[in-house]
Amino acid sequence: MRKLLALVILAVVLCTASTVAASSGIGIGIKPNMQHSSPGKIVDYTIVVHNHDSVARSVALKIDAGDCNITWFEWTKTKVFVPAHSANSVSIRVTPGSDASGGTYEWSVATTDKSTSTTATLVVQGYDYACVSHVEGKGVFVIDKKVRSNTGGDAEQRFAVNVDKHFACKGEIEGFVSDEYLIEGASGDNPNFEQMSAVADYTRTAPGDFLYGDEKLRSSFVFGGTGAKIHEHYEVQEMDARFENINLHSTGDQRYKTELATINDFGGYLLIDARQSIPGFMHVKDREEFFGNFTVCKHLIFRRPDESIFDLP
């Protein structure tokens, strides 16, 4: 009996020692393991370093670009201090180039001694439509834009967007931006439609000069949208700065969401008219008008109720 007991104790000791040995050293993980992006869009990963040893370690890490371009990465080498029997993390931004092709890309991070490594995936979705407009200078310009997109009624995840824009400028402007991006089958955090507008330092150079902007976005509920309508209009004699971003999600992880974020520093007139209408469920109206010299900030989110609600008999 004593001999049997000694064998059992020895087996427990050996198993315990084996477990410690297996878990000793440095381990690496990447969160999230997979991300969705698009050309020029930044995504953030977190690299977690585990130290299973009984002494603190300064762990040197190195990026292996794999299928990606090495220029997409915020850094390629770094060090992380990790206390004993603990973990620490470091973030890394990955930005596919504006000319990146749609596809699935794998990359990895390893300790510089190559004792351990791990791999992550980046899915880049190409744009179905993209338009980038940048203007600066003195004189007159006029810009008109229309965007229409509507998936078929038999699509598993439907998407609809209707955009109209008109801009006119007479005077001197340091910078003007009007960009649109469309991904009909967006995945992850990618929006189906994104628009960005910006103005930097518009000034009149003669009596009668003006800067005019009119932007309308509609996402029809009937065609699978959020039921949101956003109308922004300005007629100004001065505009120190304007930044505006609208993201429309009908598919992907943020499905059924429309978001507006804008800041305006101006002298003149500004209208922000935002609405959402879902027959029988929701109606929201938010209209604001400003005459004078103001700094106006606005952040608005519209969400559509879960689709299953509308499947009830």
The pLDDT-based confidence of 221 (bands split at 50, 70, 90) is confident
279 lies in the same domain as 201: yes
Q: Residue 254: CB partners within 8 Å, gap ≥ 6? A: 189, 191
Tokens of 70: 């090495």
Tokens of 167: 């801009």
DSSP string of 26-89?
Answer: EEEEEESSEEEE-TT--EEEEEEEEE-SSS-EEEEEEEE-TTS-GGGBS-SEEEEEE-TTEEEE
Q: State the total domains in the chain.
A: 2
| Residue 20, in any domain of the structure | no
The pLDDT-based confidence of 262 (bands split at 50, 70, 90) is very high
Give the pLDDT mean for 224-231: 89
38 lies in the same domain as 148: no
| Bridge partners (DSSP) listed for residue 301 | 259
Structural domain that includes position 188: 129-311
Give the pLDDT mean for 81-102: 95
165 lies in the same domain as 221: yes
Q: Which pTM was predicted?
A: 0.82
The pLDDT-based confidence of 9 (bands split at 50, 70, 90) is very low
What pLDDT sits at residue 243?
97
Tokens of 249: 């999600």
Domain of residue 103, CATH code: 2.60.40.10
Give the pLDDT mean for 207-221: 94
| Residue 238, in any domain of the structure | yes
d(CA 114, CA 112): 5
Residue in this structure with the two tokens 């029997």, named with its chain if needed: 85
135 lies in the same domain as 177: yes
Omega into 279 within 30° of 0, i.e. cis? no
Residues 146-183 pLDDT 10s: 998 877 655 566 778 899 999 999 999 999 999 999 99
Give the pLDDT mean for 251-271: 95
Tokens of 255: 């499905």
Residue in this structure with the two tokens 């004189």, named with its chain if needed: 139
- Does 232 score more than 50 pLDDT? yes
Q: Residue 284: CB partners within 8 Å, gap ≥ 6? A: 274, 275, 276, 277, 302
Backbone angles phi, psi at 134, to 5 degrees: -130, 130
140 lies in the same domain as 45: no
Tokens of 263: 């800041």
Among the three residues 124, 148, 163, which one is the final residue of a domain in this structure?
124
- Number of Cβ atoms within 10 Å of the Cβ of 21: 10
Among the three residues 124, 144, 169, which one is the final residue of a domain in this structure?
124
Amino acid (one-letter) located at 192: N
Mean pLDDT of the chain: 88
- Does 2 score more than 70 pLDDT? no
Among the three residues 89, 108, 124, which one is the final residue of a domain in this structure?
124
d(CA 276, CA 68): 41
- Number of Cβ atoms within 10 Å of the Cβ of 107: 22
300 lies in the same domain as 226: yes
What pLDDT sits at residue 170?
96
294 lies in the same domain as 166: yes
Tokens of 269: 């007139």
235 lies in the same domain as 297: yes
Tokens of 97: 């180039």
| Residue 11, in any domain of the structure | no
Q: Residue 14: CB partners within 8 Å, gap ≥ 6? A: none
205 lies in the same domain as 169: yes
d(CA 52, CA 229): 54
| Residue 1, in any domain of the structure | no
Highest mean predicted confidence (pLDDT) among 96-100, 204-208, 262-266: 262-266
| Residue 278, in any domain of the structure | yes
Pairing status of strand 57-64 against strand 34-37:
unpaired
Rounded to 10 degrees, what is the CA torsion of 52, 54, 58, 62?
Answer: -20
286 lies in the same domain as 259: yes
Helix and strand counts by DSSP (H, E) for the chain: 1, 15
31 lies in the same domain as 117: yes
| Residue 16, in any domain of the structure | no
d(CA 265, CA 239): 6
159 lies in the same domain as 273: yes
| Residue 154, in any domain of the structure | yes
Q: Residue 41: CB partners within 8 Å, gap ≥ 6? A: 95, 96, 190
